[in-house]
Amino acid sequence: MSIPASTIDLPRPRFRLRPIRVAECSMLLLFTVLTGLPLLFLLTGSFNLAQPGRAAMYGFDNWLRAFSDPTTVSALWMSFLLSVARLVPAIIIGVMFAWLIARTDMPGGNAIEFFCWVAYFIPDFPLTLAWILLLDPNYGFLNSLARHLPFVDGPLFNPYSFWGIVWVHTSAGGIWFKVILLTPVFRRLGAALEEAARVAGASTATMLWRVTIPLLSPMILAVSVLSFIRGLQSFNTELLLGTPAGIYVYSTRIYDYIHREPSSYGEATALGSVFILTLGALLFLYWRFLRGKRQFTVVTGQGYSTLRVKLGKWRWVALAGCLFYIAVMTVLPLIFLIIGSFMRRYGFFNINSPFTLAHWRNLLTDPIFLLSLKNSLVIASITAAGGIVLYSTVAYLLVSRRTVAAPLLEGFCWLPHILPGILLGLGILWLFLATPLRFLFYGTVWGIALALMVSDSPVTTQAFRAGYLQLGPDLEEAARVTGASWWYTYRKILLPLLAPIAGAVGLMNFGGALTSISTPVLLYSHQSRPLAILLLEYSVTGELERGAALGLLITAMICAMMLVGRRLGLQLSGLQ
Amino acid sequence: MAQPVLEFRDVVKRFAAVSAVDGVNFSVQRGEIFTLLGPSGCGKTTTLRLVAGLEEPDGGEIHLDGKIVAAPQRGVFLPPEKRQLGMVFQSYAIWPHLTVFENVAFPLRVRRESADVIRLRVNHALESVGLGGFADRGATQLSGGQQQRVALARALVYEPAVLLLDEPLSNLDAKLREQMRFELRALQRKLMLTILYVTHDQTEAMTLSDRIAVVNRGRFEQVGSPEEVYEKPATPFAGEFLGRTVALDGALRKSGGAPSIELAGGGRIVLGGHLTDSLHDGAAVRLIARPEDIEILPPAELASNQIDATVEQVDYLGDRFEYYVRGAGAVFVLSSPKRDRYPVGAKVRVSFDPNAVTIHPR
């Protein structure tokens, strides 16, 4: 019965290097360096009085200096105020759009939903630029028009103000993001639940008030909290519109600290630490809240509703309202961005031959532009490709039962969520300055790509994890049992099956890398300047016409990419 | 005895603190269908995955085809791709991005066979599972039964040492399941396959297996031919899991003549001698019998091995009646042919066959 012969040839020695353990350890190491260390530097750097890279001296001076400055506290307060002020109109309009599209017989609902999806990807910086062209007190087109109205003496609108910032945000991606998120939820709300209310004798209004809204309120609240947190991380619009008016939020304040001569890293990190802790606490509460509400979302997940509210003749009014909002908030600024890029001097329609191709010609022949374009494409490609490789591996480790340190790894993946672009940039800048990594990464396209890759980690990892969970372990194990090595299985089975997800997140991250300003703004050098930073420079130095051309170019690149992605059948909207 | 193809020696597998496989020993001979039968979560699938190399054991040794493939104490673990096994998953795990042909060809491509060999052997494998004309279909265009055949063809195409089947029929409807069971048995005989089969379905286990292992909580309760396991269950669990049982508690009486059981609820069953060799007089025991070995008789004087009972409920099942009968302090379900009819509340006699009962210590 026994097999003595088998004990002689042992296939392997006692100690075995399990590949999965190696992968796990290297990922943990990588995240420790790329996410853990920057965060640590941010949190401890505020107590370090020396410049990064020098011998450390510890003390509370940075905190004292930062918080004895009244503008620091007011910047934090302003971040909060702005986020709340833009949240309220955005939620109301977002819910209206979603309800009209999903639950009423308003004509053209699908077309409007598609538009929301496109509008979501229009980068916010060119849009801000467009609103400057429209609303600037000196040459803004709408202000010029308004001067012809009776009783108007000075400029009617001023974008460089609190409400100017709120207004521009109301036209940017945030609103469309809410529509994209809420429409499917409205649609999925179990038809039976509403039909039951109808059968029980409820009118449309009663049904909405007593059944629909209470059922959807947890989801609306969740989207609100998420939007609020995202609002706190905003940078571009605040920089462009707030700084000229002396309105600082914490992110532009940090930018300001670093761009001073000499840079005040200590104060910047003190401010950053406060913010990280606040954001961490908020996200924790959000997560707790979502967990508690899970049973609610289950209720809404059954079957599609065919029951639509009949608006009667009001459906045309509703459609007109939606179209008007879209026309004013998106189409109008884009048109003026186009006009602006062709005007000799923006706002001066009365001079001889006001239109010119010079800005486009100058832009496209500018060696700085060409270098920046190359940089941007390199950065975006590295970010997208690196993200796919890195986070598909991490997600694999997270779903595998063999992984020992999955919770730790998952924690690392979520960390960038509490690091807005500007703070991540600051942390990584610190990492480069304080470690030998600077020789490889400081001021290079690789450094910027690395930072962008880190910031992509939560969403990308989640997307891949969802993909793996959907596939299940059987398809992979079946390949292993038939004799395929892990690497062969990965190439022939997992990769082809995950290709749609990889393509979608790749495109998203590519687009994100093209438009991101806050992450690279502290990391670039003249040699590695990307397009978005060039756009920032044009805007700050007042070359609005050339900026408009560049902004359009970036917008066109993003839109083309997203349309190609949709043609390829990638589920882009479902990822966020 | 010939050298077994597969052998487990004291294999242990834990998940956290729970032992999914708890010191299991067994061996499978060449050309045999060996079935692991048990409820879900009993460790039978984990046992199969240990064979496949999809799980690493925490203790013991696994031998496959005369080689050690896993022995944690010696630091030996052969990954699944080196074990030359075929496996059919419960979900079939047909790769949706490949055609039927490419699914089946995959194991051969891994082994870098030439295109001619691949075409020949894939077509042969597809023929043998009755999917001759389906080579160019997309895998997702197949019905459940066809997917199951593709999975089987894929597992057979390179003639594995052992074929591992993880509840391969559980996702099919009843009629198809019966047909596939028959075909599987025929295929196994034709190709002289060695099969390790996992199921929770006792009919599958009874009809397909050469030997059955009844698995419960990570332990093997009994290993034997279907007949042995059914007729002589080694434990109450084995008896209950394989078919219906009637269980009555009582005390063993060995003094004076043939050993017998004094039932707790009254009555007395006289036993054959060998059943109780290991038990002492007065031991608390449980008697297990199959309902089909128990007869319902009209009320009369009690003969030996009979007890009084009352009919509590009658179900009409078309071809027979099922009686819920209370006797000796317990309620049990017996079926009876249509010619005998007893109304609810009727007094009856229940007669046991002393050669068809097993006795287990409590």
Distance between CA A38 and CA A478 in Å, rounded? 41
Contact (CB<8Å) B93/A1: no
CA distance to partner chain A, nearest, from residue B213 (Å) = 18
CA distance to partner chain A, nearest, from residue B87 (Å) = 7
CA distance to partner chain A, nearest, from residue B72 (Å) = 8
From B4, which residue of chain A is nearest by alpha-carbon distance? A1
Q: A23-59+359-576 and A60-356: same fold?
A: yes
> What residues of B are in contact with residue A10 (Cβ under 8 Å)?
68, 74, 76
Distance between CA A481 and CA B134 in Å, rounded? 24
Please report the DSSP string for A114-132 in residue order: HHHHHHHTS-HHHHHHHHH
Closest CA to A332 of A163, A135, A514: A135
From A485, which residue of chain B is nearest by alpha-carbon distance? B81
Mean pLDDT of all residues in chain B? 88
pLDDT one-digit tens code per residue, A336-378: 889 888 888 776 777 777 788 888 888 888 899 999 999 999 9
Q: Which of residues 38-77 of B touch A (CB under 8 A)?
A: 52-54, 63, 66-69, 74-77
CA distance to partner chain B, nearest, from residue A412 (Å) = 24
- Among the partner-chain residues A3, A15, A484, the one whose CB lies closest to the CB of B7 is A3
Domain ranges of chain A: 23-59+359-576, 60-356
CA distance to partner chain A, nearest, from residue B154 (Å) = 8
Contact (CB<8Å) B155/A10: no
pLDDT for the residue B298: 87
Backbone angles phi, psi at A269, to 5 degrees: -70, -30
Strands B260-263 and B268-270: antiparallel
pLDDT one-digit tens code per residue, A118-136: 888 888 888 888 898 888 8
Residues B125 and B101 sit within 8 Å (Cβ to Cβ): no
Handedness of CA A126, A128, A131, A137 (dihedral sign): negative
pLDDT for the residue B10: 93
H helices present in A37-69, as ranges: 37-45, 61-68
Does the domain formed by A23-59+359-576 have CATH 1.20.140.10?
no
Handedness of CA A394, A399, A401, A405 (dihedral sign): positive
Strands B330-336 and B347-351: unpaired
**Strand, coil or helix: what is B235?**
coil
Query: Is A481 within 8 Å of chain B by CB?
Result: yes
Contact (CB<8Å) B80/A496: no
Cα dihedral B353, B358, B359, B362, rounded to 10, equals -120
The structural architecture, per CATH, of the domain A60-356 is Orthogonal Bundle (1.10)
As averages over each run of 10 residues, the pLDDT of chain B (362 residues) reads 87 88 93 93 91 91 92 89 90 89 92 92 90 86 88 89 90 84 89 92 90 93 92 88 86 80 82 71 86 87 85 88 88 83 89 86 81
Contact (CB<8Å) B111/A1: no
Closest CA to A254 of A124, A76, A77, A414: A76
ipTM of the complex: 0.78
- Among the partner-chain residues A9, A475, A477, the one whose CB lies closest to the CB of B54 is A477
Instruction: For residue A108, give Cα distances in angstroms to A180, A304, A322.
Output: 16, 19, 10
Q: Which residues of chain A have pLDDT under 70?
A: 1-17, 51-55, 152, 189-194, 290-307, 347, 569-576
Instruction: For residue A212, give Cα distances in angstroms to A161, A181, A207, A285, A311.
Output: 38, 17, 6, 25, 17
Query: Is A7 within 8 Å of chain B by CB?
Result: yes
Residues A157 and A361 sit within 8 Å (Cβ to Cβ): no
Rg (CA), chain B: 25
Cα dihedral A151, A155, A159, A161, rounded to 10, equals -80
Residue B334 belongs to what H/E stretch? strand B330-336
Residues A202 and A210 sit within 8 Å (Cβ to Cβ): yes
Distance between CA A533 and CA A117 in Å, rounded? 25
CA A72 to chain centre: 25
- Among the partner-chain residues A10, A484, A497, the one whose CB lies closest to the CB of B110 is A484
- Among the partner-chain residues B1, B77, B93, the one whose CB lies closest to the CB of A478 is B93
Query: Is A110 within 8 Å of chain B by CB?
Result: no
Distance between CA A409 and CA A35 in Å, rounded? 11
pTM: 0.78
> What residues of B are in contact with residue A483 (Cβ under 8 Å)?
81-82, 84, 107, 110-111, 158
Query: Is B84 within 8 Å of chain A by CB?
Result: yes
Buried b (16+ CB within 10 A) or exposed e, B24-56: bebbbeeebbbbbbbeeebbbbbbbbbbbbbbe
Residues A37 and A454 sit within 8 Å (Cβ to Cβ): no
Query: Is A470 within 8 Å of chain B by CB?
Result: no
Contact (CB<8Å) A6/B66: yes
> What residues of B are in contact with residue A500 (Cβ under 8 Å)?
none
Contact (CB<8Å) A11/B67: yes
For testing contact with chain B, the best of A14, A470, A481, A493 (most B CBs within 10 A): A481
Domains of chain B: 6-239 (3.40.50.300), 244-361 (2.40.50.140)
Distance between CA A121 and CA A174 in Å, rounded? 10
